[in-house]
Amino acid sequence: MEDLQGKMGEAELMGCFEDALQFGHIFAVYQPQINHSTGRMVGAEALMRWRHPIYGVQMPGDFIPVLEKNNLIYRADLHIFETVCKFQRKCLDQGISIIPISVNMSRYDIYNTNYVEEIEGLRKKYDIPVQYLRLEITESSAIGGREMITRVLRQLHDHGYTVEMDDFGSGYSSLNILKDLDVDVIKLDMAFLSGDIGGRGGTILSSIVQMTKWLNTPVIAEGVETMEQADYMKSTGCNYIQGYLYYRPLPEEEFLEKMVQLDHEPLTPAMNLVKTLDAGKFWDPNSMETLIFNNFVGGAAIFTYNIDTKQKKILRVNRKYVKELGMNMNEHDIIGHDTWNHFDAEEDQKYEDMLRRAIESGDEEMSETWRTVVSDCCGEDHICIRTYARIIGEAGNEYLVYAMVQNVTAEKKRDQQVAEDEIRFKAAFEQANIYAWEYTIATKEMRPCFRCMRDLGLPPLVRNYPEPAIEAGIFPPDYADMYRDWHKKLEEGVESLETIIPLTVGRVPFHVRYTLVKDENGHPLKALGSATLVVDGEA
Ligand code: C2E
Ligand code: CA
Ligand code: CA
């Protein structure tokens, strides 16, 4: 029904405008908005059409500029608003469950100081609950008249209307506008986001989707024509779709049928932040939350994690994060930079496991991972980062992760050193055929070395030394009294003792030595004992 029989010129349009309003030649078609995950309807947009008795249906792209130029657009827009009110009233009267319908506002309507009062009058006349009427304003309305649009927004909000930012992403100033204007829903037009869907890196699309998540505002993707586009949007947490993929703009009767057929559901934000977080403050660079993030929490980062693709994207880091990672970069460089590229082999799996645990537990989880970072000043550096991760938001298969990081390289290297020393120590003993032990004078306790325990079957702690060693026959009976006497001498402060003793029943000659260790007051504390196998010629 939308086939063009002929485009009308400005003079022809102007000549029949009054008639068109009066006889319903200007009317609305309705395009449903669908939740791609559930298939339910979340709303619809009313789009203006002008059917001329001779020329046929005219499209808004052709006649709206003419109406705007002639200062008549507000009348056409009010007419559409009233048409929608009538439709909703008719449905309500028939007991049909209705759905919010969005009506477009030209930027010229914003300059018309009475506009909000006029629509409010119509809404009251038809007695439509305000949540069933939404208004779409475009980004370009804000250009050149920020005060004007702010005033209209406030008026609309005062009356309880939901306001949508239409064609978001079409202008380069988008991000600033979102920060300044308090809109309730964002409409992203796929046409402005063409190109590499799913491509990595800083595509406009992903940065805009990220931006909208930060604001905790519902997002509707418009002009969605393919399943690929819809699935991509869904993967980023944006489930709401308006486009030819589901429905073209429908004539009223057909729309009514769909509205009755399909289940309805309300719009909700793309990213569900945990309840304790206030999204507005959380992302506001001047808020107390941000101050805390930057100054008090240690190294911290916020990133998104896609559980299916495993892709991670840094949204925010603080200054200490950069410092902990020892990277020669500023915060800005790190955003968009994949710091997980630096993982050593198999370390990334540890990190993934931590994230999965954090998703499952809803709690803080920890991992330690080694990475190799390269910086201009210091060359290559091998570092160990301890990460505490917690999920703070969720959108589809994407999670928002808050991570605290600590550089624990020095700690880890020390641990490693100790472990290595221990191994070396043991090896040296093995090779030298030495048995060693420590005797604590006050308690008469003996702590044997690993070899003593293994070869002589001693426990890690021997009490009332040297009696158990004599009883076990390690020290033979003919040397027992001498050996007991040594321990008395140590107690009296004799600094060192040594002799050759034939040990065990095999009477294998060992060079047995004691060296006294004193405390800071010069009192005998303990003695370090050793027994070395006597090699040929030493005896
Ligand atoms: P808009 O507000 O961005 O409306 C969406 C446009 O995208 C509509 O074009 C719709 O038919 C079209 N569309 C929907 N799904 C798809 C899709 O999958 N692929 C493509 N390529 N297009 C899709 P339409 O109806 O021609 O309206 C064009 C523009 O005219 C609107 O853009 C809006 O700026 C303006 N307009 C329409 N109705 C009104 C109105 O009542 N008042 C005012 N002031 N402007 C209106
Ligand atoms: Ca629109
Ligand atoms: Ca749009």
Q: Is pLDDT above 50 for 365?
A: yes
Q: Which residue's alpha carbon is nearest to atom 3 within ligand 1?
A: 167
pLDDT level of residue 164 (50, 70, 90 thresholds):
very high
Q: Is pLDDT above 80 for 254?
A: yes
C-alpha of residue 167 to centroid of ligand 3, in Å: 4
Q: What percent of the chain has pLDDT over 90?
A: 47
Mutate to test the pocket of ligand 1, among 47, 68, 194 (most ligand atoms within 8 A of CB): 47
Ligand 1, atom nearest to 47 Cα: 38
| CA angle in degrees (0–180, nearest 5) for 166-239-231 | 110
Indicate the range of 25-29, 36-40, 236-240 predicted with least confidence.
236-240
Q: Is pLDDT above 70 for 304?
A: yes
pLDDT tens track for 387-427: 999 888 887 788 888 888 888 888 888 888 777 777 766 66
What pLDDT, on a 0 to 100 scale, did the predictor assign at position 500? 94
C-alpha of residue 101 to centroid of ligand 1, in Å: 14
Average pLDDT of span 466-490:
95
The answer for residues whose C-beta is within 8 angstroms of residue 478's C-beta and 6 or more apart is: none
Proximal ligand: closest to the CA of 189: 3
- Could you give the dihedral angle defined by the CA atoms of residues 205, 294, 365 and 305, in that order, rounded to the nearest 10 degrees? 10
What pLDDT, on a 0 to 100 scale, did the predictor assign at position 309? 87
Task: Specify the DSSP element, H or E, that contains 56.
Answer: strand 56-58
Backbone torsions φ then ψ of 37, nearest 5 degrees: -85, -35
| CA angle in degrees (0–180, nearest 5) for 264-166-30 | 45
What pLDDT, on a 0 to 100 scale, did the predictor assign at position 455? 83
Average pLDDT of span 463-486:
95
C-alpha of residue 140 to centroid of ligand 3, in Å: 12
Average pLDDT of span 208-233:
79
C-alpha of residue 235 to centroid of ligand 2, in Å: 24
Average pLDDT of span 292-306:
75
Q: Strand, coil or helix: what is 144?
A: coil
* 375 DSSP β-pair partners: 379
C-alpha of residue 187 to centroid of ligand 3, in Å: 7
Q: How far apart are CA 105 and CA 139, in angstroms?
A: 11
Proximal ligand: closest to the CA of 224: 1
The answer for residues whose C-beta is within 8 angstroms of residue 522's C-beta and 6 or more apart is: none
Q: Which residue's alpha carbon is nearest to atom 44 within ligand 1?
A: 106
Ligand 1 pocket, residues with Cβ under 6 angstroms:
31, 47-48, 59-61, 64, 73, 77, 80, 104, 106, 166-167, 222-225, 243-244, 249
pLDDT level of residue 202 (50, 70, 90 thresholds):
very low
Cis peptide before 466 (omega within 30 of 0): yes
What is the number of residues in the chain? 539
Average pLDDT of span 350-357:
95
Q: Which residue's alpha carbon is nearest to atom 15 within ligand 1?
A: 243
Mutate to test the pocket of ligand 1, among 3, 36, 68, 104 (most ligand atoms within 8 A of CB): 104
Q: Which residue's alpha carbon is nearest to atom 6 within ligand 1?
A: 223
C-alpha of residue 222 to centroid of ligand 3, in Å: 6
Ligand 1, atom nearest to 109 Cα: 44
What pLDDT, on a 0 to 100 scale, did the predictor assign at position 430? 61
CA torsion sign for 438, 440, 441, 443 is: negative
C-alpha of residue 104 to centroid of ligand 2, in Å: 5
Q: Which residue's alpha carbon is nearest to atom 27 within ligand 1?
A: 60
Q: Which residue's alpha carbon is nearest to atom 41 within ligand 1?
A: 48
Proximal ligand: closest to the CA of 243: 1
Instruction: Identify which has the larger pLDDT, 365 or 326.
Output: 365
* 447 DSSP β-pair partners: 438
Q: How far apart are CA 440 and CA 437, in angstroms?
A: 10
Whether the model clears a pTM of 0.75, i.e. scores above it, the answer is: no
Ligand 1, atom nearest to 106 Cα: 44
C-alpha of residue 409 to centroid of ligand 3, in Å: 52
Q: Is pLDDT above 60 for 203?
A: no
C-alpha of residue 170 to centroid of ligand 3, in Å: 9
Instruction: Identify which has the larger pLDDT, 178 or 89.
Output: 89
Q: Is pLDDT above 50 for 285?
A: yes
The answer for residues whose C-beta is within 8 angstroms of residue 472's C-beta and 6 or more apart is: 456, 457
